[in-house]
Amino acid sequence: MSELEVDLRRVVRGEVGFDVTSRALTTMDASNYRRVPLGVVAPHDADDVAAVLEVCRDHMVPVVARGGGTSIAGQATGAGVVLDFTRHMNQIVSLDPETRTAVVQPGLVLDRLQEAAAPHGLRFGPDPSTHSRCTLGGMIGNNSCGSHSVAWGTTADSVRELDVITARGERLRLGEEWAGAPRGLRELVEGELARLRTGFPELPRRISGYALDALLPEKGADVARSYCGSEGTLGILTEATVGLVEAPRARALAVLAYADESAAAQAAAGLLPYGPLTVEGMAVDLVRSTAALPRGGAWLFVETGGESEGEARARAEAIVRAADVVDARVVTDAAGQRALWRIREDASGTATRMPDGSEAWPGWEDCAVPPERLGAYLRDFRALLTAHGLRGTPYGHFGDGCIHVRIDFDLLTEAGIGRFRRFSEELAEVVVAHGGSLSGEHGDGQARAELLPKMYGEEMVRLFERAKGVWDPDDLLNPGMLVRPAPLDANLRFSVLHREPVDVAFGYPADGGDFSAAVRRCVGVAKCRTTSVAGPSVMCPSFRATGEEEHSTRGRARLLHEMLAGELVTDGWRSTEVRDALDLCLSCKGCRSDCPVEVDMATYKAEFLYHHYEGRRRPAAHYSMGRLPQWLRLVARTRTASLVNAMAAVGPLARAAKRLGGIAPEREIPRVATRTFSRWWEARRAEAGGGGGLGGGDALADGVRERGERGELVVLWPDTFTEHLSPSVGEAAVRVLEAAGLRVALPPTVRLRRVPVGGGESVGDEGIVEGGDGGSGGDGVRVGGRTAVAMDPLSLLRGRSRVCCGLTYVSTGQLDRARAVLRHTLDLMEPVLETAAPVVVLEPSCAAALRSDLPELLHDDPRARRLADRVLTFAEVLERHAPDWTPPRVDRAVVGQTHCHQHAVLGDGADRRLRQAALLSGELSGGCCGLAGNFGFEKGHFEVSLACAEEQLLPSVRGAREGAVVLADGFSCRTQLEQLAGVRGRHLAEVLAEALGDGEGVTDESGDGEGVTDEPGR
């Protein structure tokens, strides 16, 4: 350990981290910049902060205060010691409804304060779009604002008193009338009154520079207000007393549609006299889907409040009538408003991608002009973009004249960086010409501090430097920010990355095949650090379980970035730091949909594990559960399921098996079905006179040849879990699909190859018939009249080989095996792909693997995309291919959880509509069940798995009313319910099959219902 680390560990009660992981996690914030700290300290209290400052002063090492790490100008990065307040100093000390104040610690997340204030009808006024993860300390440091600033102002407007420790250890309580001011500050201000009275532009969002004008006598000499926006350069905040405002009893949201952003910007200032709570603007390029929005090319989100819903709606409708709009929509229900606000809040992430998928970056993220000049400013801004050959889509706080924008700067090449500098210098002049501020919310940091002389002039900037000297004469607090700044084009985060793409297994089609570009998707907005699930969202269950940055999507992306850089993480794919951070990733794919920039950490994890273990011994779980399809097929072929189940029920044998297989000792080994789904299928066909033959291959040929039978052909995928562990789900699905008038077939079960055929065969409805001699002595089927596929006799010698989505191989990073399995599957599926038949997959994780992993892993095989496009869920196939069918009326409430892969990859719209048609009422919760395939079974993962289940799934089941159906389409979800709650979850197909009434029933050969109940809460 270094002497600095030793000294810190000796005096600090909180955590001191000088290891590679701790440092790598804090090299970046949400800006373009990167600095590698010496170490990270999570102080336990103010005494710890004072101790850190004393040690760092002795060693002359800089100190940087960091909140949620969502700063966009680089001020939350530093080369010295970083203070992380989110771990311990994150509490509400007190909340007084009478005085409408709260005392908070700097690491408190804003949403926690809002939740505590809400029962009293109060709230904290400012609310940045990062409200679910930004901290009060960070908001004070940047003087953050948010969407409600037209009503409640900036953070500085809500600050009453601040407890601060200076770099030299002086403890101050800042307030009004010079309360707590450091020595020399009053003399400095009184000597520069004239300059302070004339040197600051008047506009609602002036954040740039130090707010020295707040120290004028006519403004109350408010030292606390002056401290706001100082970006941790003057002192370290340890506690804050903040004011709260009365929250409206009811709200309405008017979404006003305009032809384009210029029209919306021009209209924004005219709405302010109506007293709105928000006037937020955004354009169509930032919206993933416009389905929930009124028709137009840009929108203003105008919120109103009132004592009742009617009053709030009336105010919103008055604004709609007064506005000259293309279209408008007024929403008063809370869920509808939340959905619309998510569209606006996600813009901070979606703005990082141009409509064509290319990258865009901050740098000019939040300049502000007087609201009445916004339209004119945007015209000049657009002209400057065009002159430099750049693109960007403005959005943000139109009512305050504050614009956010990400621009497609090339920050990877010398020429691109040069253009970035020239554009920044010219745009600063445009902003100043319109009477604006270089920063209107997020602070100057490194991105704009160099340009402050253009806004304030050299004399005012020198005054800022003198003020910094009063507070921090040794320049130890966040040096390089605000005064004596680092150049705006130095320390760029991408400068350390290698220019040549690394060799990878997945295709990364959205990132041009470049793994580095895929990792760069994470810009640091940290939505993955949200500590509670809102609605159906999933991301990021491991972070919510542990609260550790390294277990967030952002944290893992940061470690991968440092791995690619090779400066801090030096052992590349062999890195144990990256491996350990990825270990608790559940591969839920929640980030693929919930992250605004669609980071897909499940894919990155599989990629990393593939390279990390290449040529090396893998963990036991990779051999046991990663190759589960092989083991289960072996059990099925040898017909030893009963023996396996009996052995698993013997304690010593089960414990030994779990030890050898790397399985968590807390887990029970699931029972294997004594009759697989395919054997049930073949027996059923034999009883019906269809013959047994070659199972799925024959069934497919039979299905397409039968001209007289009505109904469309669908191919039902026998996934590993349905086939070997829950055959009752497959049986139920067959019954429902047939009741809906569909003809069901299974995929072929032997390898097929194309061979020439002679004439004389007749072609069936879908173009496949039983062919002639295929040259192999076996049967064949003809495709398209010119070639045939013949059954490979070697497949018969090996036993019937079946299709597989490769899920377990992908999730454990066994990508060579996954590719082999998937290519074999594509071979088997050749005759299916020549038809129009959809492929129905009952297990959501398998359907997601086929839709997303298959084409990305076999990006060189066109059949992969064809099969992926053919995959439908159970509800989707009924909706699209049996639209006139009416499901049975179940008329019961449902509880449970939407499968995380269904949410992230497949979508659940069809499922919602099918449940509604069947009179299954109620909403399923979000989040992740925590089992997530092999994850929850792996040794060392049980506690996190349990914590994930306890977040939403188990409480929703325990709180269900009597008679509710517990829905769980995924085998993992059903197993988690069984093992943790003693409740039997059911696939939607099972519920509908049971409701069909008299007819062919389904069996439960797996024994998975043993010892469990259908009653929630038991």
Contact predicate 360/353, CB 8 Å: yes
Question: Does the structure show a pLDDT above 90 at 17?
Answer: yes
Looking at the fold, whether 527 and 399 belong to one and the same domain comes out as no
**Binning pLDDT at 50, 70 and 90, where does residue 460 land?**
very high
Contact predicate 302/276, CB 8 Å: yes
Q: Domain for residue 121, yes or no?
A: no
Looking at the fold, whether 503 and 395 belong to one and the same domain comes out as no
Place of tokens 């001209």: 707
pLDDT score recorded for residue 710: 53
**Binning pLDDT at 50, 70 and 90, where does residue 690 land?**
low
Give 828-864 pLDDT, tens digit per residue.
Answer: 999 999 999 999 999 999 999 999 999 999 999 999 9
pLDDT score recorded for residue 789: 40
Q: Domain for residue 174, yes or no?
A: no
**Binning pLDDT at 50, 70 and 90, where does residue 129 land?**
confident
Residue 340 gets which letter from DSSP? H
Residue 548 gets which letter from DSSP? -
What percentage of the chain reaches a pLDDT higher than 90? 82
Structural domain including 893 reads 887-998
The H-assigned helical ranges of 403-510 are 414-433, 445-448, 452-456, 458-471
pLDDT score recorded for residue 489: 96
Angle between helices 874-881 and 988-995 (to 10 degrees): 60
Looking at the fold, whether 391 and 513 belong to one and the same domain comes out as no
What distance in Å separates the CA atoms of residue 655 and residue 639, rounded to the nearest whole number? 23
Give 562-591 pLDDT, tens digit per residue.
Answer: 999 999 999 999 999 999 999 999 999 999
pLDDT score recorded for residue 474: 97
Looking at the fold, whether 435 and 516 belong to one and the same domain comes out as no
Looking at the fold, whether 384 and 505 belong to one and the same domain comes out as no
Give 549-570 pLDDT, tens digit per residue.
Answer: 999 999 999 999 999 999 999 9
**Binning pLDDT at 50, 70 and 90, where does residue 770 land?**
very low
pLDDT score recorded for residue 185: 97
Q: Which residues pair with 159 in a beta bridge?
A: 242
The burial of 388, by beta-carbon neighbours within 10 Å (0-12 exposed, 13-18 middle, 19 or more buried), is given as: middle
Helices vs. strands in the chain: H and E counts, helices first: 46, 28
What distance in Å separates the CA atoms of residue 749 and residue 736, rounded to the nearest whole number? 23
Of 183-192, 376-385, 392-401, 530-539, which range is least confident? 530-539
CA 195 to chain centre: 47
Give 389-421 pLDDT, tens digit per residue.
Answer: 999 988 999 999 999 999 999 999 999 999 999
Least Cα distance to 594 among 946, 132, 968 occurs for 132
Looking at the fold, whether 357 and 440 belong to one and the same domain comes out as yes
pLDDT score recorded for residue 286: 83
Q: Please give the structure tokens belonging to residue 657.
A: 């098996």
The pLDDT mean for the chain works out to 90
Q: Domain for residue 335, yes or no?
A: yes
Looking at the fold, whether 309 and 375 belong to one and the same domain comes out as yes
Q: Domain for residue 968, yes or no?
A: yes
Give the end of a domain, one of 617, 640, 674: 617
Q: Please give the structure tokens belonging to residue 738.
A: 């047939």
What distance in Å separates the CA atoms of residue 12 and residue 8, rounded to the nearest whole number? 6
The residue that leads in pLDDT, 705 or 222, is 222
Q: Domain for residue 897, yes or no?
A: yes
Q: Please give the structure tokens belonging to residue 148.
A: 């409600």
pLDDT score recorded for residue 1016: 61
Sorted by sequence, the CB contacts under 8 Å of residue 865 that are 6+ apart come out as: 855
Looking at the fold, whether 255 and 395 belong to one and the same domain comes out as yes
Task: Quote the number of domains for the chain.
Answer: 3
Contact predicate 320/330, CB 8 Å: yes
Least Cα distance to 832 among 891, 766, 778 occurs for 766
SS (H, E, C) 18-55: CCHHHHHCCCECCCCEECCCCEEEECCCHHHHHHHHHH
Question: Does the structure show a pLDDT above 50 at 791?
Answer: no
Give 889-948 pLDDT, tens digit per residue.
Answer: 999 999 999 999 999 999 999 999 999 999 999 999 989 999 998 999 999 999 999 999
Looking at the fold, whether 442 and 514 belong to one and the same domain comes out as no
Question: Does the structure show a pLDDT above 90 at 694?
Answer: no
Q: Domain for residue 342, yes or no?
A: yes
pLDDT score recorded for residue 1013: 57
Least Cα distance to 361 among 416, 414, 398 occurs for 416
**Binning pLDDT at 50, 70 and 90, where does residue 778 land?**
very low
Looking at the fold, whether 441 and 545 belong to one and the same domain comes out as no
Q: Beta strand pairing status for 327-331 and 402-404? A: unpaired
What distance in Å separates the CA atoms of residue 653 and residue 660, rounded to the nearest whole number? 11
Q: Domain for residue 136, yes or no?
A: no
Question: Domain with 278 in it: what CATH number?
Answer: 3.30.70.2190
The burial of 786, by beta-carbon neighbours within 10 Å (0-12 exposed, 13-18 middle, 19 or more buried), is given as: exposed
Least Cα distance to 991 among 892, 866, 849, 844 occurs for 892
Looking at the fold, whether 262 and 388 belong to one and the same domain comes out as yes
pLDDT score recorded for residue 1017: 45
Question: Does the structure show a pLDDT above 50 at 761?
Answer: no
Give the end of a domain, one of 569, 587, 617: 617
Question: Does the structure show a pLDDT above 90 at 802?
Answer: no
Give 583-640 pLDDT, tens digit per residue.
Answer: 999 999 999 999 988 999 999 999 999 999 999 999 999 999 999 999 999 999 999 9
**Binning pLDDT at 50, 70 and 90, where does residue 753 land?**
very low
pLDDT score recorded for residue 688: 83
Residue 1013 gets which letter from DSSP? B
Give 243-299 pLDDT, tens digit per residue.
Answer: 999 999 999 999 999 999 899 999 999 999 999 999 999 988 888 788 889 999 999
pLDDT score recorded for residue 795: 40
Could you count the other beta carbons within 10 Å of the beta carbon of residue 910? 18
Looking at the fold, whether 263 and 353 belong to one and the same domain comes out as yes
pLDDT score recorded for residue 60: 97
Q: Please give the structure tokens belonging to residue 582.
A: 């990825």
Of 108-117, 219-228, 704-713, which range is least confident? 704-713
Sorted by sequence, the CB contacts under 8 Å of residue 823 that are 6+ apart come out as: 858, 861
Least Cα distance to 439 among 471, 473, 486, 403 occurs for 403
The burial of 609, by beta-carbon neighbours within 10 Å (0-12 exposed, 13-18 middle, 19 or more buried), is given as: buried
Q: Domain for residue 605, yes or no?
A: yes
